[in-house]
Amino acid sequence: MSEVNHQRIKTNGIWMHIAEQGTGPLVLLLHGFPEFWYSWRHQITFLANHGYHVVAPDLRGCGDSDSPLSPNSYTFIHLVGDLIGLLDHFGEQQAFVVGNDWGAAVGWHLSLLRPDRVKGLVALNVPYFHRSHSYAAVEHFRQAFGEGCFICQFQEPGRAERAFARYDYLTVMKKFLLSTKRDYLVAPLGMEIIDYLETPSVLPKWITEEQLQVYADKFQESGFTGALNYYRAIDLNWELLAPWQGSKITVPTKFMIGNKDLGFESIGTREYVMGEVFKGFVPNLEVVILDGHHFIQQEKAQEVSDEILSFLHKFTMD
């Protein structure tokens, strides 16, 4: 990774750390939870070698970017604003956007709020869910899964941080990044989600102990609060996004998901992403189902890289 350059950029009132490589059309790679730019290590050099200017930021609250204290500073309005500032810094009117997990959600909302700045979107594992008319998002998860749902548990400031602190950082990373659970993450009554997740005794082939330690070391520096604040802003997002109720995402989009991802089979995700409602809200949509779990850009790095490149080529090979 020696050819990857690192810098911090002032955008939207915060300092954002980015990893950057290559020249050509701009591609933003947006990570999820619990991750930072390093989760795109395979795609950064691959895409740069194929003629793209690749920028993988640490999203606010994560890695070496600033971490505002208030959960209210982690709405999609803030996160999209950070990325608009990033595009302006590079003097680019448009960028390709690739995101996994929370990064996918940010990519969806960048495409919703500022479609003029997005040339094309690749979203991994988190589809676009239109805003509910009737009740805020956390209540939806509470009604569907109960108080043991990880999203519900993450709402209370400090609760997850205290639970995580019972383990060393490397173990926390293993529990999340290497989870092979296929049902939605719901802990039994009275149990914290971090205790419910298992620690695998054998690592999968796609990641090493040393790579997991990179994650552990970075979160030991930053702590988890910034990353958890994304979940704590979910209901505020619901309030703020009311003006976009029913809006469609019109930018060209490729959506990829692992067939072993959380809830893919058990809670109807497969039916949703292959069905008409999803395509109704994202008309210019291609869906690809891969063999893998949630952190698929690492687990199936070459396959995901090839899928991203084939999508980008539709626009840049004209």
Tell me the residue type at 9: I
3-state secondary structure of 250: coil
Asked, for residue 318, whether it belongs to a domain, the answer is: no
Instruction: Give the pLDDT means over successive 10-residue stretches in the chain (318 positions).
Output: 87 98 97 98 97 97 98 98 98 98 98 98 95 83 93 97 98 96 91 96 96 98 98 96 95 97 89 95 97 96 98 83
pLDDT of 170: 98
Asked, for residue 122, whether it belongs to a domain, the answer is: yes
CB 97 within 8 A of CB 110: yes
Domain count, the chain: 1
As a whole number of angstroms, the distance between CA 41 and CA 30 comes to 12
Asked, for residue 11, whether it belongs to a domain, the answer is: yes
CB 47 within 8 A of CB 308: yes
Task: Please confirm, yes or no, whether 167 is among the known catalytic residues.
Answer: no
Task: Please confirm, yes or no, whether 140 is among the known catalytic residues.
Answer: no
As a whole number of angstroms, the distance between CA 10 and CA 8 comes to 7
CB 124 within 8 A of CB 297: yes
pLDDT of 318: 53
pLDDT of 277: 94
Task: Please confirm, yes or no, whether 231 is among the known catalytic residues.
Answer: yes
As a whole number of angstroms, the distance between CA 277 and CA 279 comes to 5
Its pTM stands at 0.97
Asked, for residue 130, whether it belongs to a domain, the answer is: yes
pLDDT of 1: 46
Q: The domain that contains 273 carries what CATH number?
A: 3.40.50.1820
Residue range of the domain that includes 233: 5-313
As a whole number of angstroms, the distance between CA 55 and CA 104 comes to 15
Tokens 């205790």, located at residue: 195
Name the active-site residue from 78, 130, 231, 261: 231
Greatest CA separation found in the chain?
57
Asked, for residue 13, whether it belongs to a domain, the answer is: yes
Asked, for residue 107, whether it belongs to a domain, the answer is: yes
Name the active-site residue from 101, 109, 169, 261: 101
Asked, for residue 186, whether it belongs to a domain, the answer is: yes
Asked, for residue 204, whether it belongs to a domain, the answer is: yes
